Amino acid sequence: MMPDSNRSVVCGVDTHKDQHVAVVLDATGQLLGQRSFATNSSGYSSLLDWCMTFGSIAAIGIEGSGSYGAGLNRHLTARRVVVHEVMSPKRQTRRRHGKSDSIDAEAAARTVLAGHDLITPKSADGHVETMRALRLTRHSAIKSRDSATNQLHALIVTADDDLRQRFASLPIAKIVALILDDGRFVDPADGYLRAMSSLAGRWRQLDNEAKELARALTELVAQSAPAGLLDEQGVGSDVAAALMIAAGDNPHRLRSEASFAALCGVSPLDASSGKQQRHRLNRGGNRDANMALWRIVLVRLRWDPVTRCYLDRRIAEGKTKREAIRCLKRYIARDIYKILTGTRTPQLAT
């Protein structure tokens, strides 16, 4: 089939582990074709070539561009194709039309055609994606280390009196060192002591792993953080990484500082009805980025007199401390967005 260069088409893709299902629509919403492709480089190229046989591609909508569709997203973006992340069909839609891969792919294409709820996906092809992997792995090591800590404390509680008194009130790192240096804990005849030794060795291995990953993350953030980000009060390597991961390798995909605030879950949501006019807390967004902004606020409330004065003023106006902190997080998100996108205006010295 020869491509019709005068016809504009959109494509929707429902992504899976082993295959992607694609559907092509024309500008009027007419179904032009549906086909499955393998989830590898050859399959991605075949999908794009197949879509181009129907006409000029206006955009492609992908459901799951950050997981099963990540490879396809990178492939299409590298070839200058406009890619949108689309949400899964709502329950009402699935109740009316059913559920299948082709139905979901067609729903993605129709979402792109309608222009509703479209998101530019993260490119996931630079240093920020590496930060995400390092930070995720480090948190996993810390969580496993905490689990070993709890199990070791539980064994100590039920151990004999001599061991309980020996380890009483000691920090976990000291307990681990004492256990690993004591030859009694490797006696294969005493399973209880052997269990404690195994947990202590596991704790030390996970602790070393977490520290090594933290060093790697710190070095990467120092190399690739936007100018001025690490100079902000309260922004260390972990906080900077969380904010950069939320924005992605292509932070300019965020249309405004308000969209970044919504991404971080610090934009108040309108909950007005009738005569009642109010806003409510945004419980959505990237919770790691939300936590990072909260940590910045806590640091500044302790060390920055301007931030403390702002808090006191908002409390005097009738807001609670929590509400005032939410306002601070929103203001900080505005500054962080300008730094991440390079749109911050340099302040003149006075």
CB 163 within 8 A of CB 123: no
Give the Cβ contact number of residue 196 at 10 Å. 25
Q: How far is CA 315 from CA 12, 121, 304, 327, in A?
A: 50, 39, 17, 11
Identify the band that residue 189 occupies on the pLDDT scale cut at 50, 70 and 90: low
The residues with which 35 forms a beta bridge, in sequence order, are: 22
CA-CA-CA-CA torsion for 202, 203, 208, 212, nearest 10 degrees?
Answer: 100
| Statement: residue 61 has pLDDT above 50 | yes
Where does a domain end: 88, 114, 140? Answer: 114
Residue 219 maps to a domain: yes
Residue range 137-151: mean pLDDT, rounded: 97
DSSP state of 90: P
105 and 170 assigned to the same domain: no
Cα 81 from chain centroid (whole Å): 24
The structural domain count of the chain equals 3
Dig out the tokens for 101 from the structure. 């891969």
Give yes or no: residues 42 and 139 share one domain.
no
- Confidence band, pLDDT 50/70/90 cuts, at residue 154: very high
H or E element: which one contains 260? helix 257-263
Res 248 pLDDT > 80: yes
Residue 220 and residue 288 in one domain: no
pLDDT at 306: 94
CB neighbour list of residue 240: distance below 8 Å, 6 or more residues apart:
221, 225, 229, 230
Residue with tokens 């004999």: 160
Q: How confident is the model at residue 162 (pLDDT cuts 50, 70, 90)?
A: confident
Average pLDDT over residues 162-183: 89
Determine, yes or no, domain membership for 250: yes
Residue 156 lies inside a defined structural domain of this protein: yes
Q: What is the pLDDT of residue 270?
A: 78
Are 262 and 219 in the same domain? no
pLDDT averaged over every residue in the chain: 89
pLDDT(126) > 90 = no
| 348 belongs to a structural domain | no
Structure confidence at residue 91 (pLDDT): 64
Bridge partners, 57 (sequence order):
9
pLDDT, tens digit (0-9, with 9 covering 90-100), for 297-311: 999 999 999 999 999
- Say whether both 139 and 214 belong to one domain: yes
pTM of the model: 0.83
Q: Are residues 297 and 320 in the same domain?
A: yes
**Does residue 3 belong to any structural domain of this protein?**
no
Alpha carbons 22 and 7: distance in angstroms, whole number: 18
Residue ending a domain, choose from 81, 114, 147: 114
Is 131:244 a contact under the CB 8 Å cutoff?
Answer: yes
- Is residue 210 domain-shared with residue 245, that is, in the same domain? no
Contacts for 147 with CB less than 8 Å, ≥ 6 apart = none
Are residue 95 and residue 17 in the same domain, yes or no?
yes
DSSP 216-255: HHHHHHHHHSPTTTTTSTT--HHHHHHHHHHH-S-GGGS-
CATH number, position 64: 3.30.420.140
Residues 6+ apart with CB under 8 A from 163: 156
> Considering the domain boundaries, does residue 347 fall inside one?
no
The answer to the question of residue 323 being in a domain is yes
Range of the domain at 15: 8-114
Q: What are phi and psi of 231, to 5 degrees?
A: -85, -15
* pLDDT tens digits, 2-13: 556 678 999 999
Q: Which of 114, 149, 164 is the last residue of a domain?
A: 114
Whether residue 2 is contained in a domain is answered as no
What does 94-116 look like in DSSP terms, one character per residue?
A: HHHH---HHHHHHHHHHHHHHT-
Q: Could you tell me if 21 and 102 lie in one domain?
A: yes
Instruction: Provide the β-strand partners of residue 25.
Output: 10, 31
Say if residue 92 is in the same domain as residue 186: no
The letter for the amino acid at 322 is: R
